[in-house]
Amino acid sequence: MLDDQPISYEQWGVDFFREAISEERVLGAVNTITGQPVELGPIGAGPGKIAKVRAYGEIGAARSSKADGDQIGYRLVLPVALTFEVDLQVGTDRFEADLLVPLALTAHARSGVRIFIEVQPPRPDDVEVEVRAQGRRASVLQRVAGIEGEVRRIVAEYVWRELDKPHVLQARSIDVSHAISEVWASISPTTGQDGGADLEGR
């Protein structure tokens, strides 16, 4: 049974806000980019930008944990699997990369009874990356070109651009007032039906 105890408007608002911004809803907003193919390049990398890097792969489903603090927020980890091809003008080497992109999300109350989920842009230094070079020559190239740093930067920028696109911004915005209006419209009696028609006849 529900605890039908009276509470203040302020407490009701806090409770409602926490319920509205559930982990499932937050993941749903971010996972609009899950499975999306990633294609990057060619991009200059390494000393003098002499190496040309192309990358392709996809973004995986995010995992989340509750953030600490007074504000309602979550820490997400977004996995990205990529294959990199590095052209040094004398041959092309291939790398496989698994990345974990951290995302910090915070829910904010907006005017008009709206909620907006703010996403902090990921920093390249915070991106975890594991690069696997194929072949001895590729292993040497990995040390020389510093490919991991470029991978972090490229992927952090790419993920942020995707999360800042209009359709994702729409998913990060919750119009509570509109949702309430739709609920009331679905349960309000229609004129001329049931009790309304009886009252007119009396």
pLDDT for residue 127: 92
The 3-class secondary structure across the chain, one letter per residue, is CCCCCCCCHHHHHHHHHHHHCCHHHHHHHHHHHCCCEEEEEEEEECHHHCEEEEEEEEECCCEEEECCCCCCEEEEEEEEEEEEEEECCCCEEEEEEEEEEEEEEEEEEECCCEEEEEEECCCHHHCEEEEEECCHHHHHHHHHHCHHHHHHHHHHHHHHHHHCCHHHHHHCEEEHHHHHHHHHHHHCCCCCCCHHHHHHHC
Q: How many angstroms from the chain centroid is the CA of residue 11?
A: 29
pLDDT for residue 79: 92
Q: What pTM was estimated for this model as a whole?
A: 0.71
pLDDT for residue 67: 66
Under-70 pLDDT residues of the chain:
1-3, 45-47, 66-70, 136-146, 189-202
Residues 6+ apart with CB under 8 A from 95: 83, 84, 85, 86, 131, 132, 133, 134, 138, 142, 147
Residues 6+ apart with CB under 8 A from 202: none
Nearest CA-CA partner of 23 in 80, 63, 59: 63
Hey, what are 167's tokens? 């359709």
